[in-house]
């Protein structure tokens, strides 16, 4: 039985690191820094979309060339932005317990691969995951279902629960036809009752109850 997790907004709050990277770029351009609230709102659909939203929010003229240049600068800085990320309460112990219980664990994130692996190393979670699917590894990104479906395939297929925090994750699960548990304390912008989900939880101490319900229904 597999459990696949999103990363930013689900397992870790990485918005302060991302805000720092954006601030370096915006300071160079003599633009006002993003607030933490803006940063969290812009996260979820990959670095290219984040940079586009940042440009629009600060009235930076966007052409294919200007976007590509800022995206390249953003990703180059992003790989090393790991110092401010923190686990949501209960996450690490929950991952350890799931691994010890024999679940196959996957990670499926739109975060670019190098920054994703860097923050995983920094936070000591690499060994907990059997497979990782990150932005840029295939020519598709969430909410298209391909990343999630290929993550499940890499885990050997079989019954899978997807755990995420955002509208993007909810739509990815819906399109893939995979049961979805919504972590309600992440980066979502939409009321819980307006989002697709099979289960909802607000603390990782209670994810076990969701998994029990999932196993009862799908095991």
Residues 16-41: tens digit of each pLDDT: 999 999 999 999 999 999 999 899 88
Q: Would you state the pLDDT for residue 78?
A: 81
Which domains are assigned to the chain? 2-13+85-218 (3.40.50.1000), 15-78 (1.10.150)
Indicate the helix (H) or strand (E) that contains 210: helix 207-218
Mean local confidence (pLDDT), 79-85: 85
- Taking the CA atoms of the chain, what radius of gyration do you get in angstroms? 17
Residue 6 annotated in active site: yes
In the structure, what pLDDT confidence band is assigned to residue 47 with cuts at 50, 70 and 90?
confident
In the structure, what pLDDT confidence band is assigned to residue 80 with cuts at 50, 70 and 90?
confident
Question: For residue 44, is pLDDT > 80?
Answer: no
Residue 5's nearest CA partner among 132, 118, 190 is: 132
Q: What whole-number distance in Å separates Cα of residue 74 and Cα of residue 43?
A: 13
pLDDT above 90 covers what percent of the chain?
A: 88
The DSSP secondary structure of 23-40, one letter per residue, reads: HHHHHHTT-PPPPHHHHH
Q: What is the pTM of this model?
A: 0.90
Residues 96-148: tens digit of each pLDDT: 999 999 999 999 999 999 999 999 999 999 999 999 999 999 999 999 999 99
Q: What whole-number distance in Å separates Cα of residue 160 and Cα of residue 59?
A: 42
Residue 6's nearest CA partner among 162, 194, 210 is: 162
Q: Would you state the pLDDT for residue 54?
A: 96
Mean local confidence (pLDDT), 2-12: 97
More confident residue, 218 or 165: 165
Comparing 28-32, 42-46, 198-202, 212-216, the range with the smallest average pLDDT is 42-46
Among candidate residues 6, 8, 13, 169, the one labeled active-site is 6
- Asked if 163 and 91 touch (Cβ cutoff 8 Å), the reply is no
């Amino acid at each position: 039985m597999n459990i696949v997790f999103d990363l930013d907004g689900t397992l870790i709050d990485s918005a302060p690191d991302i805000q720092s990277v954006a601030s370096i770029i915006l300071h160079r351009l003599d633009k006002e820094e993003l607030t933490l609230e803006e940063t969290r709102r812009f996260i979820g659909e990959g670095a290219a979309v984040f940079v586009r939203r940042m440009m629009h929010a600060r009235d930076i003229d966007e052409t294919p060339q200007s976007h590509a240049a800022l995206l390249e600068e953003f990703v180059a800085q992003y790989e090393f932005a790991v110092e401010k990320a923190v686990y949501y309460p209960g996450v690490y112990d929950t991952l350890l317990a799931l691994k010890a219980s024999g679940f196959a664990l996957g990670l499926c994130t739109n975060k670019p691969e190098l920054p994703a692996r860097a923050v995983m190393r920094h936070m000591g979670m690499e060994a907990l995951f059997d497979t990782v699917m990150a932005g840029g590894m295939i020519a598709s990104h969430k909410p298209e279902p391909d990343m999630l479906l290929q993550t499940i395939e890499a885990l050997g297929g079989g019954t899978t629960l997807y755990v995420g925090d955002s509208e993007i994750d909810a739509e990815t699960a819906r399109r893939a036809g995979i049961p979805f548990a919504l972590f309600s304390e992440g980066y979502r912008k939409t009321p819980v009752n307006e989002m697709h989900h099979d289960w909802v939880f607000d603390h990782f101490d209670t994810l076990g109850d969701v998994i029990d319900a999932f196993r009862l229904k799908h095991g």
